[in-house]
Structures are given as C-alpha cells and as structure tokens.
Amino acid sequence: MTQKIPFREHHLLTLLEAYDKQTLPLDLFISHYFREHTALGSKDRAFIAETIYALIRWKGLLDYLVPYACWLDRYEAFQTLDQAAIQQKTDIPLHTRVSFPPYLFSLFEDNYGTDKATELCLISNTPAPTTVRVNALKTTRDALLQSWDSQYKVSPTKISPDGIVFHKKINFFGLPEFKEGLFEVQDEGSQLLAQLVRVQPGDQFLDYCAGSGGKTLALAPAMQHKGQIYVHDIRPFALQEARKRLKRAGIQNSQILLPDSPNLNKLKKKMNWVLVDAPCTGTGTLRRNPDMKWKFDENTLPRLIGQQRTIFEKALSFLHPEGRIVYATCSVLKEENQLQLEHFIKTYQLQVEGEIFQSLPAQGEMDGFFGVVLKRA
C-alpha cells in the first residue's frame, strides 16, 4: 500500500520537483507557488520555505550521501543529518562537506585560504538575519522600535543608524507600517553600502543598475526632495517594482529611465554621483539565494567580469568632471572587487576617495558587500 504523504510534505516535494523544471530564482518561484496555493496557511508556508532553503543549501552533501536521490530521498536524509559529525569525516571531500560546487569552493580558497573559505561556506549555509531600514522621510528608528517592541522581538542594527533586526520572521508586507512606506526590507550591509553615496540636497544622482531601487530608497532621504534621482536599469519589470516602492516611500524627486529613454543621453557628464551596483556572482548573499551557487560554473565569473567593465565604462560617461562614482557588488571575490578596482583606476585615471567598504557574511550578521568611491585623478 502506498504511504500517504502529509499535506505540508506533499507541497514541499511538489514545489521542489517543479522548481527543477524551470529557471526562475528560488525566492520568486516559491512566491509564485504560494500565490497559486491559497490553502497553505502562514505556518505551512514558513515550514515549506525554510525547509526548501535548507535542502537547497545542503543539496551537494545530500547527493553525496544518497546518490541518484530524488527530493523525497534528500528530505528524508536531511532529517537525520548530523552536520557536526559530517564536518569531521575527512574521507568526504571538503567542498562536499560544506555543500559547495568544487569550482566555487576553489575560488573561495584562492581568496581566503582553506580555513576561512570553509567558514564562509558554512555560514552561507545558514539563514540570514531579517533586517529592515527605516524610511527617514516618514519616521524615525526610535519611533518604530517603540511601536514594535511590545509585539515583536526587535533590536537596532549594530552599525547602520537606520536598521532594525527582527529576531523572528514575520510577514512584513502585511504590516500597516509597510503599506504606509515607513520601512523597507534591506540587509544592514546594503544600507551601509548606500551610505557611500553621500548625496546632498540639490545633487544630480544616477542609480545606473538600480534593480527595484533598494539603494536609491536608502539614500534618497539625504536629498530632502531637492535635486534629481535618476533610476535606470535594463529590466523593465525591475523598474516597475522600483516605481511602486518610490511612490510608497514618498520620494518626489525621482525619474525612471529605461536604456532607450531619450532623456538618458541628456544626462552625460552632468551627474554629481553615479552608483554602479554591478551584476555579480552574489557570493556575499548566498544565505538568501542558495540556488545561485548551483548555477555557478567556470564561465560565470569571466562573463560577469566582462559585464562589470562594460557597465562601469558606460556609467562613467554620465559623471560630471568633479563628480563621484561608486562601484559596488554583493560579492566576496577579489576578481569582482579589488582586481576590478585596480582595472578601473588604471584604465580611466581614477583615484579612491575615503575608505573601501567591505563586509563578509558572519553568523547572525550582515551579508557580504564591497563598495568604493572613485573620482577623477
């Protein structure tokens, strides 16, 4: 007789099997699945999402322990997995013990040495903290902390002046404070990275790889609705989301620009600040995007390095002679960070202004980021 699979596990396995047959990022695919399956309650969704992320993180190790496994096999193996004992088994290859693709693990080793690489991989296999950024245009961190303190376990971020950490996951998007634009979900490292762009009221600022506008939302309050923010990306769907977020946040001095916009070329050599939050390997945010490591191959890094250089050169054309350009990634690899910086300085006669920002993922702490302010020499 066939054993009936419990309700949650049925959806868990159905989702994973469907995920393998498509190309969407994991977080988007899970969101789409939940929207289509309204019978799933909040606790069901939390269990399914947390379990899927754990299974994807440890997929490499599970496939070693249970060869030719289906998702049911992996799920059953995961339930009895003794992580501490596995890390002591030196007969298992190290990259397998930390559940990383061999080529990506070798890059981590080249960058940080074996011990630090191992630590980074293991941290990347843990859940990331849940952090929000207060919208200083509408409220203060103290006000939100006071409002939430009796309802949720929250604390201020250690470094960012605008961040609040939630120590238990909740549905942010249902909160009235979210709908009113009082906060956005944003990692503390990302908040600090945005602070490299030291815009002033009246400045002209171009967010060249804006995505859905996270960095723009973080730095816009410093402009006090004065000057102009130009939000650019090659992905129309990302800019649609940016438009919604900017409106919710109450930002009044922004323009959305697609690459074919006739207004884009008019901005050449006029920007006080340009931000290049470049597409990258995302190796600093693998806790949030564990599926990315399994899509990484030997062509990924060279392709992205080429893209980063092309994008930076285009973005630089918008910079005023006295302006500043910020190069940023969510990578922990020198090939995308320090080595790119050396290339930009040499190729375009630039110099670094201030300190280089770099963070590495740490247990319960911010994600990994790199950022640097450059000006013409």
Q: How far apart are CA 207 and CA 182, in angstroms?
A: 22
- Is residue 70 flagged as an active site residue? no
The encoded tokens of residue 296 equal 């990484």
Set 121, 209, 280, 330: catalytic member: 330
Radius of gyration of the chain (CA): 22
| Backbone torsions φ then ψ of 204, nearest 5 degrees | -105, 120
Q: How far apart are CA 297 and CA 308, in angstroms?
A: 18
CA-based torsion, 80, 86, 91, 96: positive or negative: positive
Q: How far apart are CA 346 and CA 282, in angstroms?
A: 25
Q: How far apart are CA 272 and CA 162, in angstroms?
A: 24
Q: Which residues does residue 375 pair with via DSSP β-bridges, in sequence order?
A: 351
Q: How far apart are CA 62 and CA 108, in angstroms?
A: 21
Does 260 show up as a binding residue in the annotation?
Answer: yes
CB 230 within 8 Å of CB 257: yes
CB 48 within 8 Å of CB 12: yes
Does 233 show up as a binding residue in the annotation?
Answer: yes
Alpha carbon dihedral 214, 219, 223, 226, in 10-degree steps, equals -20
The encoded tokens of residue 240 equal 């649609």
H helix or E strand, kind and range, residue 166 = strand 163-166
Strand-pair category, 319-329 with 271-277: parallel
> Which of 288, 281, 282, 332 lies closest to 126, judged by CA?
288
* Count of other CB atoms within 10 angstroms of residue 163: 26
Does 110 show up as a binding residue in the annotation?
Answer: no
Q: Which amino acid is at 27?
A: D
**Which residues are catalytically annotated?**
330
Binding residues for S-adenosyl-L-methionine: 233, 260, 277
Binding residues: 233, 260, 277
